[in-house]
Amino acid sequence: MNSEVGFDLDELEAECARLDKLAAGEKFWDDADAAQHTLKRRASLQRTIDAWADLQKKLTEQSELTQLMEMEEGAPNPDLLGELGEALEAIEAEQGRLEFRLVMDSEEDPGNAILSVNAGAGGVESQDWAEILIRMYARWAEAHGCTAKLVSVLPGEEAGIKNATFIIAGDYAYGYLRAEMGVHRLVRISPFDAASRRHTSFASVDVVPEVSDDVEIEIVESDLRIDVYRSSGAGGQHVNTTDSAVRITHASTGIVVTCQNERSQHKNRATAMKLLRGQLYKLEMQKREEEKELQHAAKKSISFGSQIRSYILHPYQMVKDHRTDIETSNVDSVLDGDIDKFIDAYLLSLIESRAEAGPHS
C-alpha cells in the first residue's frame, strides 16, 4: 500500500470555506430551509475531511513504526509484524470505504435509508425468512454505527413477519443499502416441517431515501386517505396498545405506508408522511432513470427466478450474489450482518458500468 492516501483534500476544504463564507452572510437565515441544507452539506463535507485526515494519520503512524522496526538489529518481532499487517489491512479497508463514498454523488446517498422487508412466496417459511433478514440488517446497521428504528411491523400468524419497515440512520446508509434492493432467496431444511424437508423461501427488500423537508415533493392533501387503527402483534416490544397506528394511502399512485412505533398518533402520522415522501421521491427518480434508459431492472415478483441473492443452508452452505457472482461459504457471518462484500462488489459494478457508458450516462 502507498505511504500516502490517494486523495487530495484541497477541493473539499475549499468547498467548506465557501460554505462557511455563505453561512456568515447577513441574509443566510432568510431562507431557513436552504440554510439547513447548506449546514447539512457543510457537516457532511467535514466528516469526509476528518475521516481522510484520520486515515492519513494512521498510515503515517504505521509507516513510522515500520521504519523503527527496520532500524532494529536482528529479526523483526513476529508479533509486531502481525499487528502491523492487521493495521495496514484495516487502513486499506477503510480507504476503500471512503473511496466508495466519493463516487456516491447523488444527493440522497449520504442520508438515511428507509428499508422494508416483505415476505413472499412460501408462507410461514418466508415470513420466518423475512424476520431473519430484518435481524441481518439491524446487525449491519449496528456494526456501521447506524441506528435502526422500527416504524411498522405486521407479524405472521405462526412465526416471523409478513412485512416490516425500519429507518436506518447514519452516514451513507442509503448509499450502501440501496445495493440490497431486490428478492432474497433462502434454501434450508424447514424448522416448521415435521418431515424435515428442504424448502425454498423468498423475501423482497425495498430501500428508499429518507427525504429531507427542504426537498420539494408535491403531495395534495385530498389525495390522501388516512386511517387510524390499533396495531396487532404477537406481544413484546412491537405491541402498540392505543389506537394511534396510522396508515396513509396515496390515491394517485396506490402507495400505502404505515407507522405504529409511537404511542402518539401525531408522531406516527408525521413518520408515515416521511415514509410516503421517500416512496414518492424514489418513484420520481425511477421515472427519470427510465427516461435516460438507466433503469437496470424492472421490479420483479417475489418468487423463483427473480432473486438477486441466494442463501443456501442445505445441502451445502453458500451465499451467492447473482448480480456480481460474489459468494462465500460463511453463511452464519452473512446472516449476522457481514454483507459488505456483496454491497461493495455491486456498487463497484455500477461505477464500472457508468465509466463504460461515458460522461453523459
The whole-number pLDDT of residue 105 equals 64
Q: Is the separation of the CB atoms in 226 and 269 below 8 Å?
A: yes
User: CA-CA distance, 97 to 211, in Å (whole number)?
Assistant: 23
Cα dihedral across residues 234, 239, 240, 241: positive or negative: positive
pLDDT in tens, the chain (361 residues): 443 444 557 888 888 999 999 999 999 998 887 888 788 778 878 888 888 888 888 888 888 888 877 777 666 677 777 778 888 888 887 777 777 766 676 778 888 999 999 999 778 999 999 999 999 999 999 999 999 999 999 999 889 999 999 999 998 899 999 999 999 999 999 888 888 889 999 999 999 988 866 667 778 888 899 988 876 554 444 444 456 889 999 998 999 999 988 778 888 988 988 898 888 888 887 776 665 444 344 344 555 456 899 999 999 999 999 999 999 999 999 999 999 999 989 988 887 776 666 544 4
User: CA-CA distance, 84 to 27, in Å (whole number)?
Assistant: 52
Number of helices and strands in the chain (H, E): 8, 11
- Locate all alpha helices (DSSP H) within 169-227, ordered by sequence: 173-177
The whole-number pLDDT of residue 288 equals 67
pTM above 0.85, yes or no: no
Whether the upstream peptide bond of residue 76 has omega within 30° of 0, thus cis, is: no
Identity of residue 37: H
- With b for 16 or more beta-carbon neighbours within 10 A and e for fewer, the 52-69 pattern comes to beebbebbeebeeebeee
User: CA-CA distance, 288 to 233, in Å (whole number)?
Assistant: 39
Mind listing the domains of the chain with CATH numbers? 10-103 (1.20.58), 113-357 (3.30.70.1660)
Residues β-bridged to residue 184: 203, 309
The whole-number pLDDT of residue 295 equals 38
- Residue among 39, 344, 341, 314 nearest 191 (CA): 314
Question: What are the φ/ψ torsions at residue 245 (nearest 5 degrees)?
Answer: -65, 145
